[in-house]
Amino acid sequence: METAQQLDKPSLGNNDAAKDKAINERDAMTQDTPYPDQTVGQPFVDNPKMRLRDVEVFYADNQAIHGVSLDIGKNEVVSLIGPSGCGKSTFLRCLNRMNDTIDICRVKGDLHLEGQDLYDPKLDVVELRARVGMVFQKPNPFPKSIYDNVAYGPRIHGLANKKYDLDEIVENSLRKAGLWDEVKDRLHASGTGLSGGQQQRLCIARTIAVSPEVVLMDEPCSALDPIATAKIEELISELSESYTIAIVTHSMQQAARVSHRTAYFHLGRLVEMNDTETVFTKPEHDLTEAYITGRFG
């Protein structure tokens, strides 16, 4: 078994003092704690929507993800948690090949969306990103009208033949994102003029307008106030009736509130994955327990 001490310390993109302190605390805490040979808990499910095996990710020579295997079930909400720099966002970005946009990044392993190999060189990545949509940390509406933000994807994917069909997609998407009542009278106003929480719901509407099967969310509430956060969390629960969702979050309370299963990452390893209640009340691994009890952050 490897210990944290024996592993290369990953370098963080943003080396501010708080991150360095968190890393030092994490390393002190994990010095003598062996990683499990295999992820503990229940990383696999029957008939998964996404089947991910032996995933390894490298940024040039720095390995950020080490042999991670897990499933994401249909209509399941899975949270990815762990200390800063443990690889949550890197792993999430593998699921719709957003890492392709980073030149030095290489991904290895078997990653499947139902029968589809995500890294099949013949795969159309634009189509993949319609099937596996993504909502980012910072709301990023296009500098276009509210209507055009939502209509953009359906237009480029040819999902509506008539104006009437497009109107219907825009309305349904805004309704599902819980934004319709707030914007129905100003659909042609700029999306960037909305509040932060509204912009994030607009981005969710834009993502679901192309009828994705999976929605990836990378810290979707970190730029929002508690009221806007509560709205997004409520929305995640509603959306899970129609979509499969994977969410990266720094908030353990949020993971506990919104997800069915939770995956605990540590220095690029998946230490434990279990139903969310077990992770937060009876974690099986010492590293998970140390993290959820706040012994490092």
Q: How far is the CB of 228 from ligand ATP (least distance, A)?
A: 20
Tell whether residue 251 is a contact of ligand ATP (CB under 6 A): no
Among 89, 36, 58, 81, smallest CA distance to 265 is for: 81
Site of tokens 């994401």: 72
192 burial type by CB count under 10 A (0-12 exposed, 13-18 middle, 19+ buried): middle
Paired tokens of 32: 């003598």
- Report if residue 13 touches ligand ATP, rule: CB under 6 A: yes
Q: Is 88 in the site for ligand ATP (CB under 6 A)?
A: yes
Output 64 or 235, the one with its CB closest to ligand ATP: 64
CB of 6 closer than 8 Å to CB of 32:
no
Q: Which residue is nearest to ligand ATP (CB)?
A: 10
Residue with tokens 């995500």: 118
**CB 28 → ligand ATP: shortest distance, Å?**
18
Residue whose CB is less far from ligand ATP, 68 or 146: 68
Strand positions, DSSP E, 149-294: 214-218, 244-248, 261-266, 269-275
C-beta of 252: minimal distance to ligand ATP in Å?
Answer: 13
Q: Which of 116, 153, 106 is nearest to 133 (CA)?
A: 153
Long-range (24+ apart) CB contacts under 8 A made by 184-188 are: 186/146, 187/145, 187/146, 187/147, 188/145, 188/146, 188/147
Considering the rule CB under 6 A, would residue 125 count as an interface residue with ligand ATP? no
43 touches ligand ATP by CB under 6 A: no
| Residue 11 binding ligand ATP, by CB under 6 A | yes
90 is an interface residue for ligand ATP by CB under 6 A? yes
The reply to whether 240 sits near ligand ATP by the rule CB under 6 A is no
Does 30 contact ligand ATP by CB under 6 A?
A: no
> Which one of residues 85, 141, 197, 220 is an interface residue with ligand ATP (CB under 6 A)?
85
Residues of this chain that interact with ligand ATP (CB under 6 A) are 10-13, 59, 64, 82, 84-90, 102
